[in-house]
């Protein structure tokens, strides 16, 4: 579940500190246990539960891998391409357009809308398309929620170039000349209700623009449709997350509720689900060169204006893709 | 996985070779090919490199290939340098037509796969085969149409110029 980072992602495990980019990206999956402040009523059973949650948070935090871009393994990716191709071509009937809009070389910031719950089929389809088009030799990294990287069995994502979402990791990847894929909407967007499936919603996160400006790299919007049709997403469960203090302990602001196979009612989506075989269509838009388009006269670039522009472009494309679809899931 | 297609074209091997030796013409007749462009300074001949992509299923697959065998106007073979593993070959043979009605037998072969991809690799190669085979077959049909049309156009031009000079 790649996403753009918040400043709160920074902590010692990732070898960086906060740089004040506090409007960027998704939510950090974990926090150092020291961050957890038990409420004044933490006594008895409540205290016990809070202690257990703190221990769990600590355990998860310890599992978050130290970001090492060198863990990306082109040979491993190459050997996994056939499996991804089968999944993408036969199950999701994936279609990726406009890869030619991505420059042949140099660092680029790909900014996508995110769908499909914790399984994010759009990421799989796009990763296959990108690696097949440019070759596994081209450096390609994705930012992911810390919880995703710390889950047992998902460590292999690091071999695909996935690193924990944080401004420092983003900087590292762009400095290395890589193509970096971020999903600023992160878990907020990925768990949006199904009736908002055709809506781009970054929840106001604009840090990716600051990073693009800092590194002077173009932003390339990547718009996908179909992922949110792989289950019936009912609610982000923000209130539930607050009630269970997940926002304080894991910095998880959502506890999604959906109806999905094989669980039926699926709360949290922590174990994933079997996605419905919805057709996934992805369109890559032309690059946006921020300094040329928004600061040509040397004036300071208005982040809000850029944000509105990116969202408008992506929403227009998503509307056009939605108009092409005749039926949900079938496409 | 190896797939092949063949066709007879009413043109001499030299006339067919003119088309298959020109990287700029590939996108005009190769079915499913989304890219075939020179990678490097050498446009053709032994050692020439091309970046090629073919749409198969949900992805455009291919990579950089290098010409490893070049026997004009009979054989041209290439091997992949990056991308999926592949070997390809054009085989053009004279089919004893008359001087006025030459004929060539053209075969296009492609072997592809990903070493070390295991069972899923085996399955994906086989599932992709009908698409690839169909692409090769239609590419040869389009090549035949293009070459024969070009021959007709040239002979008509020759007739016109003969009439004009007479």
- pLDDT > 90: what percent of chain A? 51
Low-confidence winner among A57-71, A115-129, A179-193 (lowest mean pLDDT): A57-71
CB–CB contact A90 B57 (8 Å): yes
Predicted confidence (pLDDT) at residue A216 exceeds the cutoff of 50: yes
Closest CA to A218 of A107, A96, A105: A107
Distance from the Cα of B14 to chain A's closest Cα (Å) equals 33
The stretches of chain B forming alpha helices (DSSP H) are: 13-20, 26-29, 118-165
DSSP state string for A278-300? ---EEEEPPPB-HHHHH-TTSPP
CB of B82 within 8 Å of any CB in chain A? yes
d(CA B89, CA B66): 11
Nearest CA-CA partner of A266 in A164, A194, A331: A194
pLDDT, tens digit, for every residue of B114-164?
888 899 999 999 999 999 999 999 999 999 999 999 988 988 998 899 888
Question: Residue A65 above 90 pLDDT?
Answer: no
Are A284 and A220 spatial neighbours (Cβ–Cβ below 8 Å)?
yes
Under 8 Å between Cβ of A318 and A281: no
Distance CA(A183)–CA(A4), nearest Å, equals: 5
Bridge partner list, A96: A282
Average of per-residue pLDDT across B100-127: 91
Question: Would you state the pLDDT for residue B97?
Answer: 64
3-state class (DSSP) for residue A7: helix
The answer to whether A23 touches A142, Cβ cutoff 8 Å, is no
Mean pLDDT of all residues in A275-300: 90
Nearest CA in chain A to B80: A135
pLDDT band at A8 (very low <50, low <70, confident <90, very high): very low
| Residues B2 and B111 sit within 8 Å (Cβ to Cβ) | yes
Q: What is the pLDDT of residue B131?
A: 95
Confidence of residue A241 (pLDDT cuts 50, 70, 90): confident
Predicted pLDDT at A280: 96
Sign of CA dihedral A118, A119, A125, A127: positive
Q: Work out the pLDDT band at A60, boundaries 50, 70, 90.
A: low
The residue of A132, A278, A281, A331 whose CB has the most chain B CBs within 10 angstroms, and thus the best one to mutate to test that interface, is A132
Q: Which residues of A touch B (CB under 8 A)?
A: 75, 78-83, 85-86, 88-90, 92-96, 99, 125, 128-129, 132-133, 135, 137
Question: Residues A137-153, buried b or exposed e (16+ Cβ, 10 A)?
Answer: ebbbbbbbbbbbbbbee
The span from the CA of B103 to the CA of B96, in Å, is 7
Task: Write down the pLDDT at residue B61.
Answer: 93
Instruction: Summarize pLDDT for B56-92 with one digit per residue, the tens.
Output: 999 999 999 999 999 999 999 999 999 999 999 999 9
* Nearest-neighbour CA in chain B from A253: distance (Å): 34
Of A106, A143, A315, A324, the closest CA to residue A221 belongs to A315
pLDDT (average), residues A269-284? 92
DSSP for B26-59, written as a single string: HHHH-TTEEEEEE-SS--SSTT-EEEEEEEETTE
Q: Kindly indicate the confidence band of residue A43, based on its pLDDT and cuts at 50, 70 and 90.
A: low
In this prediction, residue A195 has a pLDDT band, given cuts at 50, 70 and 90, of: very high
The answer to whether A102 touches A178, Cβ cutoff 8 Å, is: no
Burial B130-150 (b: 16+ CB within 10 A, else e): ebbeebbbebbeebbebbeee
Residues in chain B with CB shorter than 8 Å from the CB of A82 are 114, 117, 120-121, 123-125
Of the candidates A81, A95, A96, which has its C-beta nearest B114's C-beta?
Answer: A81
pLDDT at position A66 is 65
For residue A26, give the 3-state DSSP assignment: coil
Mean pLDDT of chain A: 82
Mean pLDDT is lowest, of A20-24, A309-313, B70-74, B104-108, for A20-24
């Amino acid at each position: 579940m790649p996403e753009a980072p918040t400043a709160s992602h920074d902590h010692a495990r990732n070898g960086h500190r906060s740089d004040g980019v506090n409007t960027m990206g998704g939510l950090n999956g974990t926090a150092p246990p020291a961050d957890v402040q038990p409420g004044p009523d933490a006594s008895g059973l409540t205290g016990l539960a809070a202690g257990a949650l703190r221990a769990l948070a600590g355990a998860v935090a310890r599992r978050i891998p130290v970001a090492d871009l060198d863990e990306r393994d082109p040979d491993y990716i190459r050997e996994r391409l056939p499996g991804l191709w089968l999944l993408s071509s036969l199950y999701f009937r994936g279609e990726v357009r406009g890869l030619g809009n991505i420059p042949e070389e140099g660092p680029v910031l790909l900014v996508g809308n995110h769908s499909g719950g914790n399984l994010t089929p759009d990421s799989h389809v796009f990763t296959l398309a990108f690696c097949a088009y440019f070759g596994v030799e081209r450096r390609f990294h994705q930012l992911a929620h810390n919880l995703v990287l710390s889950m047992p069995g998902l460590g292999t994502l690091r071999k695909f170039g996935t690193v924990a979402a944080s401004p420092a990791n983003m900087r590292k990847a762009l400095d290395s000349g890589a193509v970096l894929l971020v999903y600023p909407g992160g878990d907020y967007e990925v768990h949006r209700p199904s009736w908002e499936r055709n809506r781009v919603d970054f929840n106001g996160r604009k840090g990716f623009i600051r990073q693009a400006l800092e590194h002077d790299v173009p932003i390339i919007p990547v718009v996908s449709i179909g992922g949110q049709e792989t289950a019936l997403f009912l609610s982000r469960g923000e209130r539930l997350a607050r009630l269970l203090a997940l926002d304080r302990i894991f910095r998880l602001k959502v506890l999604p509720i959906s109806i999905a196979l094989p669980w039926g009612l699926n709360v949290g989506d922590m174990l994933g689900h079997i996605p419905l075989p919805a057709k996934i269509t992805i369109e890559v838009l032309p690059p946006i060169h921020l300094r040329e388009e928004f600061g040509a006269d040397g004036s300071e670039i208005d982040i809000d204006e850029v944000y509105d522009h990116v969202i408008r472009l992506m929403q227009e494309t998503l509307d056009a893709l939605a108009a092409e679809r005749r039926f949900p899931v079938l496409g | 996985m190896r797939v092949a297609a063949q066709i007879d074209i009413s043109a001499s091997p030299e006339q067919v070779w003119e088309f298959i030796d020109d990287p700029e013409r590939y996108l005009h007749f190769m079915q499913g090919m989304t890219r075939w462009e020179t990678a490097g300074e050498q446009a053709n001949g032994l050692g020439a490199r091309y970046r090629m992509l073919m749409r198969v299923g949900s992805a455009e697959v291919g990579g950089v290939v290098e010409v490893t065998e070049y026997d004009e106007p009979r054989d041209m073979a290439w091997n992949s340098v990056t991308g999926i593993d592949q070997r390809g070959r054009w085989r053009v043979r004279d089919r004893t037509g008359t001087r006025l009605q030459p004929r060539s037998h053209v075969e296009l072969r492609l072997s592809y796969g990903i070493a070390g991809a295991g069972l899923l690799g085996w399955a994906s190669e086989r599932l992709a085969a009908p698409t690839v085979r169909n692409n090769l077959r239609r590419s040869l049909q389009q090549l035949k149409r293009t070459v024969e049309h070009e021959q007709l156009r040239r002979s008509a031009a020759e007739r016109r110029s003969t009439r004009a000079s007479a």
